[in-house]
Amino acid sequence: MIYQRYSPCSELAPFVECYFIWDSQNQPIDNLMVESPPSGFCSIVFNGGDPYYLQNKKYEKLLVPQQFVAGQAIYSYKLFLQGTISQAGIVLKPAALATLFDLPTYQYTEERIDLTQVFPATLIHKYKALLASASQAIEKVKLLESFTLHYYQTNQPRPDFIDKAADLIMLKNGMLNVKEMMEGVYMSRRNFERQFFKKVGLSPKYYARIRRMAYLFHQIAGKQKVNWPLLLNQSTYYDQSHFIKDFIEFTGRTPQQYLEENKELVHLVGSLSPRR
């Protein structure tokens, strides 16, 4: 099984975090459950493999569309996979659904919406067929980039102060306050929060909490033992009780329970693969 990430071209770097290819390489998977914590990113995914199900706080058992757009995840979710895995996806910067694709991001929070309900069906079917016929991962990445460039050239997006504020939260792993987010933004806090919600799908404060937890999940992924006091200090938590409360809210378990049980997708993910 492979899970590879690829960086975008320079034109799309302000909007695309990376592309990914997840493939079982024609080897059938038997009852695989993968858990993923909220990351702070949205995505567009083309699934050329077998159908699979998702479980989160909103859905007990959701049959995921073969091609979908996913908004912000608020809590950890589980994927239940059977058969072959063959996914190609675009991981988007926090405000990119709105800025690049002109979509109402807040409507997609905790959702996976069929791409044919969002974009022209003929376009989606075209890229679905092209991706199915591509034999190499890099070919699929180029097709994902072609799809994204189409909207870049059509919509001619320009990142604004909300994009910059959301990117700052992302880069600082949520370890800043609203005042820091608003530096250089000439509007009221209330208006800033309203505009942020429209473009990102969450309030700035809540998005910062998710990014801080995403940092924590990344630090503990694949580990059997964790120096919790050190990690709390690195994550700027004031005390252990606050940290545990946040952890339970986002995962439904204590940190130690999560550490013992998790089978995160991040285990499969290495560094960005080179473009060829």
Stated as kind and residue range, the H or E segment containing 272 is strand 272-273
Rounded to 10 deg, the angle between the 204-220 and 161-171 helix axes is: 30
Q: Residue 202: what pLDDT?
A: 96
Provide the 8-state DSSP code for 9.
P
The rounded distance, in Å, linking the Cα atoms of 271 and 276 is: 15
Residue 183: the pLDDT is: 78
Question: Which residues pair with residue 47 across a beta bridge?
Answer: 87
**In a structure prediction context, what are the per-residue pLDDT tens digits for the chain, which is 276 residues long?**
889 999 999 999 999 999 999 999 888 889 898 888 899 999 999 999 999 999 998 999 999 999 999 999 998 899 999 999 999 999 999 999 999 999 999 999 999 999 999 999 999 999 999 999 998 999 999 999 999 999 999 999 999 999 999 999 999 999 988 888 887 777 899 999 999 999 999 999 999 999 998 888 888 877 778 888 888 888 888 788 888 888 888 888 888 888 777 654 445 444 444 454
pTM of the entire structure?
0.90
Reading across the β-sheet that carries 29-36, which strands appear in turn? 29-36, 77-83, 53-55, 62-63
Q: Give the pLDDT of residue 266.
A: 47
Q: Which amino acid is at 264?
A: E
**Residue (of 16, 19, 15, 14) closest to 3 by Cα position:** 19
pLDDT at 262: 61
For the chain, the C-alpha Rg in angstroms (whole number) is 19
- Which residue type sits at 168? L
Q: Are the C-beta atoms of 34 and 81 separated by less than 8 Å?
A: yes
Contact between 221 and 213 under an 8 Å Cβ cutoff? The reply is no
Residue spans per domain, the chain:
2-158, 161-261
Using a 10 angstrom Cβ sphere, with 0-12 exposed, 13-18 middle and 19 or more buried, the burial of residue 107 is exposed
Structurally, at CATH architecture level, domain 161-261 sits in Orthogonal Bundle (1.10)
- Strands ordered across the beta sheet of 16-23: 112-114, 67-70, 42-47, 86-92, 16-23, 2-6, 272-273
pLDDT value of position 274:
47
CATH top-level class of 2-158: mainly beta
Give Cβ neighbours of residue 139 (< 8 Å, ≥ 6 apart). Answer: none
